[in-house]
Amino acid sequence: MVQGWYGPEPVPSAIRNYMGLPVQLGVTNYRRDGNRVHAALSTDGVNLIDAIITLKDTPIHRFGFLNYPALGRNLTQPAPSAFVVNRIPGASEITPATPVSMEFHFREKDAAKVLQPRRLLNAFSIEGAASAFVVPEPAGK
């Protein structure tokens, strides 16, 4: 993860401190008009990501693990190795979609500033997501 935004507090602080991921406080606003969804991520009153998708089908229930690597030195508790992996269990309702547009408006101070979409390949909408904090594992296990 290069950079992430979550909210409300204490979620971003907990993710940063216990999982070692570079996250900040952020808010996503959604507007839906039929099968078209517009989402805008903002932090400190600035829209950073603006995306539009068109939903395709009915939702599918999914569960599994997200694997987020992190540097052990970013953890507030002693890390078992230089690199750790956060295996985050989760379940959600995923609806396949077609990407319409995505714009990044990152600030100079944002690590993600170097990212710009060249081509939109796929999209999906997640609702009813549930996940849990886990203890990071040493990388390679």
H/E run at residue 17: helix 11-19
Distance of alpha carbon 128 from alpha carbon 1, whole angstroms: 22
Cα dihedral 50, 54, 57, 62 in deg (nearest 10): -10
pTM of the model: 0.79
**pLDDT tens per residue, the chain (141 residues)?**
678 899 999 999 988 888 888 899 999 999 999 999 999 999 999 999 999 999 998 899 999 998 888 888 878 777 778 888 888 899 999 999 999 999 999 999 888 888 888 899 999 999 988 988 777 777 776
Q: What are the distances in angstroms from CA 63 to CA 59, 88, 136?
A: 13, 11, 19
Locate the domains of the chain by residue range.
4-138
